[in-house]
Amino acid sequence: MIKQYMSAMGVQDKQYHKGDFKVNSPIDGAIIGNVTLDTIGAADIKIKNANAAFQEWRMVPAPKRGELIRLLGEALREHKHDLGALVSLEVGKIKEEGLGEVQEMIDICDFAVGVSRQLYGLTIASERPGHHMRETWHPLGVIGIISAFNFPVAVWAWNTALAIVCGNPVIWKPSEKSPLVALACQALFEKALAKFGDAPAHLSQVLLGKTDIGNALVENKDVALISATGSTRMGRLVGPKVAERFGRSLLELGGNNAMILAPSADLNLALRGILFSAVGTAGQRCTTLRRLFIHESVIDDILPRVKSAYETVSIGHPLEGNLIGPLIDEESFNNMQSALKKARAAGGKVFGGERVLIDKYPNAYYVKPAIVEFDEQNDVARSETFAPILYVMTYKDFDQALAMQNDVTQGLSSCVFTNDLREAELFLSDRGSDCGIANVNIGTSGAEIGGAFGGEKETGGGRESGSDAWKNYMRRQTNTVNYSTNLPLAQGINFG
């Protein structure tokens, strides 16, 4: 099956059948490829080549650069099913979510094409006569992308589509758990390049490897921006290293996302919101709903319904119509079990969470999503476990719920279900949610590309995708032009 998708997208057999690094499918543990990992030396050469590409690409007019991304969007449209299925096979996303991820790539390409004609700066009133001020945006340099396994292709597209229209080459170090989809994306980029014609070599390159190869990008002063998506643990290592060499970083790290379910909420809507956000992608989204604060007056109406929905949700092969696929690997399963053990020790009432389908898939890890009821928020609920565990707590008044929601180190996504306008607006106000994403009557996951995506606190502070996130990939310059015959100084200074 893999061969069919790979060759349709232009990836040659030898690219994923000749190396000594095994790629396993989380669906059944089978080996689906053997790739060759890059060496540090190879990484350095790729970075040099990218810099050479930068010298040329920055001179190409931005709308023309946009044309390349338009062609990439076309290639993605043509191969949506191939790439979507490959995402399912390599990281275990269900079919709909694999396709959704590719659609997100197409959407960001469309968006970036528009941006390529809107790299607007300001004109600024000068305090000096005969002077004019403006702000211009210039290409930044080589963009290093480090990505996580759970959005194995969309994160590349979010960064690449914008970086390329902004005049920069990209080098991508995908997760070591998903090298095949990276080879496929690179092949699709090359298809677009072939149609585009005259572009420098090495505009987009892939670096396969583990932490050491990611680190080769991080430490290289010729990489202008490191856009790193992954755990807070990774960001804590990467951020200071990039800062030490005065590079730029865009960090998209762990989340611990919450919903406040108020007494006035439409419970049918909330139920659907909870289900998709908490168990979608088997709880392996950075925006997965992990903490649910329910008003004490409605908990008995909603929690039994959530539990029965959990009982009926189908778990199994992601391409066979199920709603929950496997966890990525054994380590992830162990982390989940260890979190549940701690939750029990902390007095939590655990529902679900056990491994299933062991006979059918002895080398894969399928689990029932778990619900843990806590009397109050504790350190177990405050840490992110990248698996389907939903911690449920009750609250009495809205301020208390808000305080509990914000009482974590992460700040990615949040939502409130309420029909009370005051609560909704308070939630979105200066003293409301402290997250990068705050929604009303929508769950925590499933963002559109049009908005800036990212979070505060230990989520890293980065913003990518829509809105003005393109500014991350450019350097800002302030210009003052004197078209008079005098040289007045600012602040009225008279220098002799």
What is the contact surface with ligand NAD in residues (CB under 6 A)? 146-151, 173, 175-176, 210-211, 214-215, 218, 229-231, 234, 237-238, 252-255, 286, 384, 386, 412, 459
Distance spanning both ends of the chain, measured CA to CA: 80
Q: Give the residue with the Cβ less far from ligand NAD, 150 or 160.
A: 150
Q: Give the residue with the Cβ less far from ligand NAD, 98 or 254.
A: 254
Smallest separation (angstroms) from ligand NAD to the CB of 319: 22
Between CA 496 and CA 488 the distance in angstroms is 12
Q: Give the residue with the Cβ less far from ligand NAD, 49 or 332.
A: 332
Cβ contact 260:299 at 8 Å: no
Smallest separation (angstroms) from ligand NAD to the CB of 238: 5
- Quick one: which of 454, 30, 97 has its CA closest to 257? 454
Between CA 73 and CA 78 the distance in angstroms is 9
Q: Give the residue with the Cβ less far from ligand NAD, 97 or 423.
A: 97
Task: Calculate the alpha carbon distances from 254 to 229, 257, 386, 478 in Å.
Answer: 9, 10, 9, 35
Q: Return left, alpha or beta for 132; rule: phi > 0 is left, psi -120 to 50 is alpha, else beta.
A: beta
Smallest separation (angstroms) from ligand NAD to the CB of 32: 18
Handedness of CA 207, 210, 212, 215 (dihedral sign): positive
Per-residue DSSP letter, 24: E
Cβ contact 142:57 at 8 Å: no
Between CA 473 and CA 138 the distance in angstroms is 9
Q: Give the residue with the Cβ less far from ligand NAD, 286 or 435.
A: 286
Q: Give the residue with the Cβ less far from ligand NAD, 94 or 452.
A: 452
Residues labelled as active-site residues: 252, 286
Find the helix packing angle between 95-115 and 62-78, rounded to 10°: 160
Partners of 139 in the beta sheet? 474
Smallest separation (angstroms) from ligand NAD to the CB of 217: 7
Residue type, 384: E
Residue 401 CB contacts under 8 Å (≥ 6 apart), including other chains: 260, 262, 293, 295, 395
Smallest separation (angstroms) from ligand NAD to the CB of 288: 8
Query: CB-based burial of residue 103 (10 Å sphere; 0-12 exposed, 13-18 middle, 19+ buried)?
Result: middle
Smallest separation (angstroms) from ligand NAD to the CB of 464: 8
Grouping H, G, I as helix, E, B as strand and the rest as coil, residue 225 is: strand
Per-residue DSSP letter, 34: E
10 Å Cβ neighbour count for 5? 22
Q: Give the residue with the Cβ less far from ligand NAD, 136 or 383.
A: 383
Smallest separation (angstroms) from ligand NAD to the CB of 173: 6
Between CA 187 and CA 453 the distance in angstroms is 27
10 Å Cβ neighbour count for 385? 23
